Structure 1
């Protein structure tokens, strides 16, 4: 073997060993929808069933699926290793908006993610089975979904984030099949308001949920995210808002997800008394 070939092999081995997280594709059963739904579960290097790990639920966007995040952002495996956490990427349907739809009775993704999937992960993996060890975030439709689920299920999730989130549905009555799940806005305006994250801040108390928002300044959802940030400020709800250059692109999400996972890691590292929340 010549020197150039040897160096190539070494570089390849170093690249392959840079992270050792395991990626599982699992089939979970949704009782509420009477069907099997796939999810990706990433466990960190050295995963040990005697250790309880925090879990971040990472939601995909409109027209996506459970494999989007791990295929588009391979660095998720590195983050799972770095923060010693489990990352779970569920399938939220093509355009469910992570709601229990009053129109499509077979679309109950709020129930699925917040109850059925959480129950599955807690049963099949060694997790911190408490809100202190659960976070949720996502991109676009999934950014809306993450905040929507966390606001409504603060007993399940202790920290929540959003990346380029569609946090206000009302300005988009003809987009992304939202009306298929809520009904026409002109006919059911109350549904559009009650299911928009920006109008759900009344569910929060200061300190009841750790929150991080991120949106690029060139994103078509940027204005809604700024308005959400301002409403949270007005209500004295502590949160982190990252406003930086970027559009509604995978390049932006691949760059920002590390900041959100770091934010969640800080939350997981301490319980309410400032002590380690992990059972090591």
Structure 2
């Protein structure tokens, strides 16, 4: 009987010890001067954050259409463990449900490129112990957010040193009536220049010197598979270095949970090389 009680007590001790190590999840309000509103943001800090005086690299994660800032912490069950494993800060960005993460040329109330690259990054660097250079920042996202991560990193290589896309809508022109894109750009027939200028596949000329570390990932049964393959082929033609992954999977959470593991490892390797964490 005493042995059983001892074993039970020992088991409880280890449960308490190991469960006490957990990333901290906070929700903060970040004011956007460009859009004149507060925007909720999820900040996930590794368990080591409070115990260390060092500065931490940051990964910004962009949700897909109809998602929000809390999607990553709520839906990705392993994310907090991964934050502790790699010892970087993760930011769950809110891009409205359908911003596509650019500054809308037809709707001045949607300035999410300005918000993410200027206002949000500045807030995070001011309020947290971050490595506030491109060598300490990465950005990724899924679906709409995959497009956004590549779009923002390509346009702002002074801010982000690495970027990824999971099932990204990297060329949305084949989908002119979907996901409120025409609310942000106007109709493709009336404003074709808006669509051509703001789709990732047409932005590769901004990557002449392989200055970004890039990882692109899409499931073979995803409706965005073709546009991702087309982007990959175009990058090969232009000799743009990137990691490219296709694996069985659809446009769903099960695929993204697996893909995120590869992306975070990719970013950890980048930070280890560049930021010397």
Please confirm whether the aligned pair reaches a TM-score higher than 0.5, indicating the same fold.
yes
State whether structure 2 residue 217 is matched by structure 1 residue 218: no
Alignment of 1:123-162 (within 5 A): 123-162=126-165
Native 8 Å contact 1:63 1:94 kept in 2: yes
In the alignment, is the contact (CA less than 8 A) between 2:219 and 2:248 conserved in 1?
Answer: yes
Decide whether the 8 Å contact of 1:133 with 1:277 is kept in 2: no
2:33 maps to which residue?
Answer: 31
Q: Secondary structure at the match of 1:270?
A: helix
- On the 8 A contact 1:179/1:185 being kept in 2, the answer is yes
Higher helix proportion (structure 1 or 2)? 2
TM-score by structure 2 length?
0.94
Give the Cα–Cα distance (whole angstroms) in 1 for the partners of residues 273 and 15 of structure 2. Answer: 36
Contact 2:105 2:194 in 1 (8 A): no
The number of equivalent residue pairs is 274
Of the structure 1 ranges 87-96 and 49-58, higher mean CA displacement relative to structure 2 is found in: 49-58
1:16: how far off? 6.5
- Higher mean alpha-carbon deviation, 62-71 vs 9-18, is at 9-18
| 54, 64, 73: which one aligns with 1:70 | 73
TM-score by length of 1: 0.93
Q: Quote how far apart the aligned CAs of 1:10 are.
A: 3.9
Aligned pair partner of 1:47 in 30, 35, 49: 49
> Unpaired runs of 5+ in structure 2?
none
Gaps of 5+ in 1: none
Q: 1:207: Cα distance to partner?
A: 2.2
Residue 195 of structure 1 aligns with which residue?
A: 198
Residue 169 of structure 1 deviates from its aligned partner by 1.2
Q: What is residue 245 of structure 1 aligned with on the other side?
A: 248
* Alpha-carbon displacement from aligned partner over 1:50-107 (angstroms, at most 9, x marks no partner): 2110000001000010001110012111111111100001110010000100111111
Q: Among residues 105, 111, 115, which one is paired with 1:112 in the alignment?
A: 115
Instruction: Give a deviation string over 1:28-65, Cα, whole Å, max 9, x none.
Output: 00000000000111111121462110000001000010
On the 8 A contact 1:54/1:133 being kept in 2, the answer is yes
Shift of 1:15: 9.9
What's the CA shift for 1:6?
Answer: 4.2
Partner in structure 1 of residue 174 of structure 2:
171
**Closer, same or farther in 2 for the Cα pair 1:155/1:95, shift >3 Å?**
same
Runs of 4+ in 1 over 2 A off after TM superposition: 1-7, 9-16
The within-5 A match list for 1:268-279 is: 268-271=271-274, 277-278=276-277
